[in-house]
């Protein structure tokens, strides 16, 4: 059993949207597609169980917000800067 902690930003840049949750995906480094695991959390850490001893793992943490692009675009519609990313 291992604990995974990741840094959740407390100050976001203007072109970022605050995430609602984190999608954590992990799989053994030398494994095929059948051993991919994934779990969601709203915390800045996740307890991962069932890991194999002496095995290296790939871990991907994605910050997610379940909001449509049109809603996000409306929040920043007052900006006309072509260098803004959403």
Task: List the chain pLDDT tens, one digit each, 86 residues.
Answer: 566 777 666 666 665 677 888 999 999 998 777 789 999 999 888 888 888 888 899 999 998 887 665 655 555 555 555 555 44
Q: Quick one: pLDDT at residue 60?
A: 92
- State the Cα–Cα distance between residues 83 and 12, nearest whole angstrom: 17
Identify the pLDDT of residue 28: 92
What SS3 class is residue 2?
A: strand
- 6: Cβ contacts below 8 Å, ≥ 6 apart: 22, 44, 45, 61
Q: What residues have CB less than 8 Å from 65, skipping those under 6 apart?
A: 17, 18, 19, 20, 72
């Amino acid at each position: 059993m291992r604990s995974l902690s990741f840094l959740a930003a407390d100050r976001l840049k203007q072109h970022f949207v605050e995430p609602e949750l984190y999608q954590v995906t992990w799989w053994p480094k030398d494994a095929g597609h059948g051993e991919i695991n994934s779990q969601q959390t709203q915390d800045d850490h996740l307890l991962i169980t069932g890991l194999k001893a002496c095995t290296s793992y790939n871990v991907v943490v994605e910050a997610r917000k379940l909001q449509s692009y049109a809603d996000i675009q409306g929040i920043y519609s007052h900006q006309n800067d072509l260098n803004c990313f959403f």
